[in-house]
Structure 1
Amino acid sequence: MVHPLPNPLVAETDAERFAQRRSAIDLIATTRARTIRAALFGSYLFRVNPLGPEDAETRAQWRVVLREQGEAVARAASLVQGSDPLQAVPGWVCDWIGQHGAAHPRSVAAFVEMRDLTHAVVIAAEGDDVRQMRDALAEHLRVGRGGFFEKVTAFCDGLWADLDATRHQELEHAAAAGQAITKTLGRLEQIGKHVRLVSLNASVEAARVGDAGRGLGVIAVEFKTLAEEIQMLATTARRDIAAMTGNSADLGPSPRR
């Protein structure tokens, strides 16, 4: 499904809007790494180090890292449901992701489940409860290895496909608008040439009649200035259209992850 773009009156370029959506997808995609890190540091806190026990400060640092992973996974679970608890992702981007999530409820459920399982690992680590940590890690690893990472990848691939379709639509609209403007500019340039010709004829006529044509000569000069201004505006507009077309093309293919 191709979702509508935000209000075009908003002062954002296509490249900026694309970057905002891409950053949001990246936040969701990192859930794979965040989940692995949560399991890793949970294991550090649970298993006995054969080289000797770590000091309290090291274990405290591991808990901090573990909490960070839990917060990141929870944020991703919120994003796939259409909201950002940090309110850093624009609302219209959250809506776009939420619409995709609504169409893939099983994927959203997987994110929510992993959020809860990661939170369980964090809680167990905070309390240094060995049995609770063992059970939490076992369930976390079971779900992670049971297809969760593939679900994250599939969800992000779906967002990329949607984004690619939206960008294709944007380019088609931009091309159609550019063609219409170019046609108008062509007509404007024809008017400019006609005005320049009228100015030239007026100048010739003013010179022929002498002092009696002085006023006509002034008008001829004004017409010449107007014709030059029309030409300059048309040239500038064509350059701006070319620049915008170049910017759209520079977006390049979506960097799939």
Structure 2
Amino acid sequence: MSQPSFRTTYAPETDTERFAQRRAAIDLIATTRARAIRSALFGSYLFRVNPLGPETSEKRAQWRAVLNEQRDAIARSAAIVRGTDPQKAVPDWVCEWIGQHGSENPKTVADFVRMSDLTNDVALAAGGDDVRRLRDALDVHLRVGRGGFFESVTGFCDGLWAKLDASRHEEVERASAAGDAISKTLTRLEQIGKHVRLVSLNASVEAARVGDAGRGLGVIAVEFKTLAEEIQMLATTARSEIAAMTGSEDGCSIAKRGKNYL
């Protein structure tokens, strides 16, 4: 069973990366259900008597290897729901986020730990020749699994998804608010540019009216005109860059970023 991949152990810069890493961690935890089933299945393979004859030692060794793999994976999930990854692959900030949810659901965390212990019991019993011990370990493992463990895993993951959706909503709201603020700033900048341009035009008219005495005013008018054009260019460039980032036709709609970043 493949494991979700994690690229970094630090808090990434983009909303998309943050979402992807949390989603991968939730998927990893969700596999605990299937792994518990697989551990019981391969433990049963090792316990049962084959009516067609004994399996080869190589085949039984393969089954033990699969069983041990499930045991290790379940133990890892039990650690992650408590806020730490033994393999150090899940980023620390994601583990802390999951651990916080685990602290709010101590019974479910206890269910993970118990299943980890029971799977270890099955794996240890399967490694020996005590058939009765393996039978008893499998019996408890199956009863606990059917007694609500799978529902516990589902409920825990559903809770994480709800938190993730809530955080995405908050990020959307923040992006929307930031977009509105930037749009207002750009609008104000454009208004200032238009006002400066108007002042430049009035100064040019006045300089022309007074003749030689207005040469100094004419120079100022030219500078004001240059400033107005620069302000307009900066505002236009900013809107174009925002439109490129958001994929929108109008730079004013930066708020759409919150809807498109995932």
Task: Describe how 1:38-117 pairs up with structure 2 within 5 A.
Answer: 38-117=39-118
Residue 258 of structure 2 corresponds to 248
Provide the rounded CA distance (Å) in 2 between the counterparts of 1:88 and 1:148: 25
Instruction: After superposition, give the CA deviation of every residue in 1:124-172 in whole Å (9 maximum; x if it has no partner).
Output: 1222432221111111111101111011111111111122222222222
Amino acid at match of 1:236: S
Letter in 2 for 1:248: G
Kept in 1: contact 2:193–2:228 (CA 8 A): no
Residue 236 (structure 1) aligned with residue 237 (structure 2): no
Letter in 2 for 1:32: R
Q: Measured at CA, do residues 238 and 198 of structure 1 come closer, stay the same or move farther in structure 2, by a change above 3 Å?
A: farther
Change (3 A) 1:97 1:236: same
Q: 1:191-202 residue pairs with structure 2 within 5 A?
A: 191-201=192-202
Please report how far the alpha carbon of residue 11 of structure 1 lies from its aligned counterpart in structure 2 after TM superposition: 5.0
Change (3 A) 1:196 1:134: same
Please state how far the C-alpha of 1:215 moved relative to its aligned partner.
Answer: 4.2
Aligned pair in 2 of structure 1 residues 189, 241: CA closer, same or farther (>3 Å)? Answer: farther
Measure how far apart 1:95 and its partner are: 1.2
Task: After TM superposition, give the deviation of residue 36 of structure 1 in Å.
Answer: 0.4
Corresponding residue number in structure 1 for 2:230: 226
2:4 is aligned to: none
Percent identical across equivalent pairs? 62
- Counterpart in the other structure of 1:136: 137
What residue identity is the alignment partner of 1:249? K
TM-score (norm 1): 0.83
Q: Is the 8 A contact 1:121 1:136 kept in 2?
A: yes
In structure 2, give the amino acid aligned to 1:219: E
Give the direction of change, closer, same or farther, for the CA distance of 1:170–1:60 in structure 2 (3 Å limit).
same
- Give the equivalent residue in structure 1 for 2:30: 29
Q: Is the 8 A contact 1:15 1:248 kept in 2?
A: no
Moved more, 115-124 or 230-239: 230-239
2:175 corresponds to 1:174: yes
Counterparts of 2:33 and 2:221 in 1: how far apart (Å)? 77
Cα distance, 1:251–1:55 mapped onto 2, change above 3 Å:
farther
Alignment partners' CA distance in 2, 1:190 and 1:78: 58
Mean CA deviation greater in 128-137 or 216-225: 216-225
Distance 2:196 2:190 in 1: 10
The CA RMSD measured in Å over matched residues stands at 2.6
The question of whether the paired residues in 1 share the 8 Å contact of 2:39 and 2:119 is answered with yes
TM-score by length of 2: 0.82
* 3-state SS of paired residue (2:127): helix
In structure 2, the residue matched to 1:3 is none
Residue identity opposite 1:92 in structure 2: W
> What's the counterpart of residue 250 of structure 2?
none
CA distance in 1, matches of 2:66, 2:230: 68
Q: Which runs of 5+ in 2 are unaligned?
A: 1-10, 248-253
Deviations 1:87-134 (A, max 9, x none): 111112111111111111111110000000001111112224322211
Is the contact between residue 15 and residue 261 of structure 2 (CA under 8 Å) also seen in structure 1? no
Task: Tell me if the contact between 2:197 and 2:225 (Cα under 8 Å) persists in the aligned partners.
Answer: no
